[in-house]
Structures are given as C-alpha cells and as structure tokens.
Amino acid sequence: MDINIEAAFLITEEDFVSMQIARMKIITEKENRVILKIIGIIAAFCGIIAFLYIRGNLYQLISWLLLIAVGLYCLFYYDLINPVITKKQATDRYRFNRREIGSKIFRLDSVNFSFEDEDHKINMPVENIYRLTETSDTLFIFYDMDEFGFIPKRVLDDKQISDMRKFFEEKGKYRNEA
C-alpha cells in the first residue's frame, strides 16, 4: 500500500497529558489491571459482609472499614486514581520541559519515516518501526518496546489516520488500544 503523510504541529499541554494517560494504559499489563480489580472486589465484598454481619469490637469494625477502603482503592486505581496522578505528573513535566517541547514535523511514506524537532531528528526505514499503537486521541509510533514518537490525532484528517492504520495492519505492526 502506498502512503504519503506529512504533518507539522505543536504539542500542547492537553496533547501531552492525553498522551501520558494513554501511555500509562498501554504499558500497564492487562493481567495486572484485572488482578488488582479482582483483589479489590474481593476485599471490598469481604469487608462489607464482615462489617454488616460479623461486626465485633471497635478495633475489628475499623479493620473492616479499612478493608473496604483498600478494596475500593484497588478496584478504582487504574480507572480513576492513576489517571489523576498521571495527569498531575504530566502537567508538571510539560511545564518543566516547555523549552524542549517545540514544533514537530512528521513524515511517513511507503519506505521511510521521519520525526523532527529542533533537538531530535529520527529518520529510518519503515521496516525498522516496532509498532503503531492507536488510542482514542493519540497515535504512538514505537521505535522499539520502549521509545516512541507520538502524533495527536487532531493534526491528521480521518483519511490519513485510516491510511496509517491500514498501512501498519498490512505489516502486522498495528495495535488498537482505544
């Protein structure tokens, strides 16, 4: 499939925060999320049953309430608590690194891929790309398991996003995390 996309854009604070939240979801293994939710449900359930039916002395009542609190924390950690923490850290990081976060130029064709800004230029064959991961508002181009460049979806039109999706699907290097 032939493809030819070029985009120049500035990364805003919203782009960076969305990217970091999406990245946290990508790098967190699904099994860990599921296991923590199961632990949370079990802990909260046991705590509620014990508080309502077993009760006991004041110390034990407090223990059951703590158990419920820990259960709820585990249950909602990845969906509610972690995004809030990540957003705060991402905002701080963006403001600290504002000088480095300038405009970027992204180019992709059937053979080569490049990502440029003032301090970092990468230009390599498309075959060397590890994977394209798509989330609800960001496209991640992974150079390896860890390093990546990202493009906010707002800078591309629907056809360009669709072309990128098909291009990397054909190469077996596409993942949807939306």
Partner 1 sequence: MDAEFSFKSKLNIKEYADGYRIFDLKRGRSAGREWKSTVFFMISMATLFFLLMSGMNIGRMPVCAAVFLISAYMCTHYVYILPRKAKLRGEHIYKSSKMLSKEYVFDVYPDYFIMRNKNESIKRYYSDVSDCIETKNIIVIIGGFEKRFIVISKRNIEKNELEKISRYFKNRMVKQYRRIKDPGSKE
Residues that bind partner 1 (CB under 8 A): 63-64, 66-67, 97, 100-101, 117-124, 128, 130, 143-147
Rounded to 5 degrees, what are φ and ψ at 32? Answer: -60, -40
User: Among all chains, which residue has been given the structure tokens 């990397």?
Assistant: 168
- CA 36/CA 42 separation, integer angstroms: 10
Q: How far is the CB of 89 from partner 1 (least distance, A)?
A: 12
Q: Tell the smallest beta-carbon distance from residue 120 to partner 1 (Å).
A: 4
Question: In angstroms, what CA-CA distances link 98 with 25, 90, 153, 167?
Answer: 24, 12, 21, 33
**Residue number, 67 or 164, with CB nearest to partner 1:** 67
Residue number with CB closer to partner 1 (94 or 167): 94
Handedness of CA 95, 96, 102, 105 (dihedral sign): negative
Query: Based on CB atoms, which residue is closest to partner 1, 75 or 101?
Result: 101
The answer to whether the CB of 11 falls within 8 A of the CB of 17 is no
Cα–Cα distance for residue pair 124/80, rounded to 1 Å = 38
Cβ nearer to partner 1, comparing 108 with 163: 108
* Nearest distance in Å: CB 157, partner 1: 26
Q: Are strands 131-134 and 174-176 parallel, antiparallel or unpaired?
A: parallel
Q: How far is the CB of 166 from partner 1 (least distance, A)?
A: 23
